[in-house]
Amino acid sequence: MKQAFVFCFFFLNVTTFLHAQSQRNATWLNGALGWGNWATQFNTNNTITQYQFAIQSKLRNCRSSHSNICDTNGRVVLYSDGFDVLDSNNNILAGGGQLADPSFYNYFNKYSYSQASIFLPMENNIYYFINLGVTDACLSTWGNPNRQLPNRLYYHKIDMSLNGGAGKVYERMQILDSAGSFEVSALSACRHANGKDWWLVKQGADSVFTGADNVNFYTYLITQDSVVQIHHQFFPNLPFAPNTAGIVEHGQISFNNLGTQMAFVTRQKQILYLFDFDRCTGKLNNAQAINPPAGIASNTAMCGVCFSRNDRFIYLARAGAIFQYDTYAADSASAWYQVAERDTIPTEFNTYGNIYLANNNRIYIGARSLNGSTMSVINNPDAKEALCGWCPKCLRFDSVAYAANGIGVSQPSNMANYGLGKLNPPCEPLSVGTSLQGEGLGELVIYPNPSNSLIYIKNRKGKTKQLMNLIGDILLTTQQDEIEISRLASGIYLIRCEEETVKVLVE
């Protein structure tokens, strides 16, 4: 009886925890500078509350680059226009102003690149905020036909218990990565299989290894105390158009609700890119480029993508059409269904953009242009074809005061699936992979990684192993296959054995 009680208590607490975390994306902010910001709250009783979030004197540009995160009751805690971090009272958080290189901040503080920032919650009231950065040398090319793309990613750490409980950015403008080139759009995250850390995925714009533009992604592991690049994966066999304009303003990365697949679209191609995703290693596998059949193809490329709640269907947005792709279909030709076209005449059409699944299990269609006061809705996205319940302009903002030239409804905030829990069963040692770097390391296997107590080394029995810090100081030399790390400070270390070196994350 006691065991049953403990199990039930544990189950109820896990369920409560996951439900609470899912409320972190219960409220979306959207709107553009000069028109205002509005909150759409998806309540637990399946109702929707809308209200004006920012007063006129404190309007921020929540058009496409924006993000926000709620507390576990669904109330907005933090939001950003991509450059500043603000609190729920629309005040810039202490240390949260101008979180980008000055020239980039001053030049592009009204920019509209989709999925350009994101908040990630950690334990003990800690949040990460991630956004793009551009050096002055890079920005100086943006008036040229072939512009350089952003060459920095920043992370900023926020402690909401500091500053008398008002919150503070206590680590700002930390360079997450400055070795690559990044598209301005397509930044998302998926919960690690351990249920507490995060995998951050960013579309790259590198051609270093292939000599031609291609589909490539950077993946980073974000823990309570550390940020480290894990993979830079190239998919040269996937069709991809060269980026001749230098800037791709709209694209979207979307993970399914189990965190086992990642979909990606970009305005550069009329293609659904689909990958398997390993929550244990952060690696993308089984890359596919799925073309719509000729009957529904057009010269308008994709700009939004989202999974249904049951993960069977993938919804895609072009500027002027919405599609459903059935992952259960026998072939690609029968998998595609056109859900909708433009919902009004071209001059009045609020062009489709990024699309997101809300807590009420409905999908909402964002807008790239700002000449409307509505969003369209897919009411039953788990159903096939016409049964999905397309409802044009069904999320209305008519009750909110707006300027005579339109309300400026934009796209929902960029958020992750905050309610995704720990993988069960947990990662097996071999599936954790060889290391945090995970690629090209032969047979050397270290697990678990990350760890806070012991690490085990496989396939090097009797060989000399060295534990080092990042500057190369040797902390331990041993021939044992088990290394005690509980006394080490949290951070990144190296294990070297023969000719191979592996990064280890100590939590």
pLDDT at 17: 46
What domains can be seen in the chain, in order of their start residue? 24-396 (2.130.10.10), 434-506 (2.60.40)
CA separation (Å) from 504 to 101, 352, 460, 463?
A: 31, 43, 16, 18
pLDDT at 2: 38
Condensed to tens digits (0 to 9), the pLDDT of residues 31-83 reads 765 556 778 899 888 888 887 777 655 656 777 888 999 998 999 999 998 88
Q: How many CB atoms lie within 10 A of CB 228?
A: 17
Contact indicator for 274, 260 with CB cutoff of 8 Å: no
Q: Is the pLDDT of residue 204 over 60?
A: yes
Pairing of strands 390-396, 374-378: antiparallel
Q: Is the pLDDT of residue 9 over 60?
A: no
pLDDT at 209: 44
Query: Is pLDDT larger for residue 69 or for residue 480?
Result: 69
Q: What is the mean pLDDT of residues 388-407?
A: 72
Condensed to tens digits (0 to 9), the pLDDT of residues 99-120 reads 988 777 766 555 567 898 999 9
pLDDT at 343: 73
Contact indicator for 201, 251 with CB cutoff of 8 Å: no
Q: Is the pLDDT of residue 296 over 80?
A: no
Q: How many CB atoms lie within 10 A of CB 506?
A: 21
CA separation (Å) from 413 to 44, 114, 236, 284?
A: 19, 9, 31, 25
Q: What is the mean pLDDT of residues 142-170?
A: 86
Condensed to tens digits (0 to 9), the pLDDT of residues 186-200 reads 999 999 999 999 999
Question: Per the structure block, which two tokens stand in for 188?
Answer: 């998302």
pLDDT winner (highest mean) among 126-135, 215-224, 379-388, 455-464: 379-388
pLDDT at 375: 87
Kindly indicate the confidence band of residue 253, based on its pLDDT and cuts at 50, 70 and 90.
Answer: very high
Among residues 154, 54, 146, 35, which one has the least CA distance to residue 104? 154
Contact indicator for 339, 346 with CB cutoff of 8 Å: no
pLDDT at 230: 85
Size (the chain), residues:
507
Q: Is the pLDDT of residue 403 over 80?
A: no
Give the C-alpha separation, 15 to 12, whole Å.
5
Condensed to tens digits (0 to 9), the pLDDT of residues 304-335 reads 999 999 999 999 998 889 999 999 998 877 89
| Percent of residues, the chain, with pLDDT higher than 90 | 38
Give the C-alpha separation, 109 to 486, whole Å.
44
- The number of CA neighbours under 13 Å toward the Cβ of 224 is 14
Condensed to tens digits (0 to 9), the pLDDT of residues 207-225 reads 544 445 578 899 999 999 8
3-state secondary structure of 163: helix
pLDDT at 15: 42
Give the C-alpha separation, 351 to 270, whole Å.
16
pLDDT at 400: 54
Percent of the chain as helix, strand, coil, to the nearest 5:
10, 40, 50
Contact indicator for 53, 81 with CB cutoff of 8 Å: no
Kindly indicate the confidence band of residue 142, based on its pLDDT and cuts at 50, 70 and 90.
Answer: low
Contact indicator for 31, 408 with CB cutoff of 8 Å: yes
Pairing of strands 38-42, 27-30: antiparallel
Contact indicator for 31, 62 with CB cutoff of 8 Å: yes
| Percent of residues, the chain, with pLDDT higher than 70 | 79
User: Mean of the per-residue pLDDT values for the chain?
Assistant: 81
DSSP per position, 205-272: ---TTTSS--EEEEEEEE-SS-EEEEEEEEETTS-----TTS----EEEEE-TTSSEEEEEETT-S-E
Helices (H) and strands (E) in the chain, counts: 5, 33
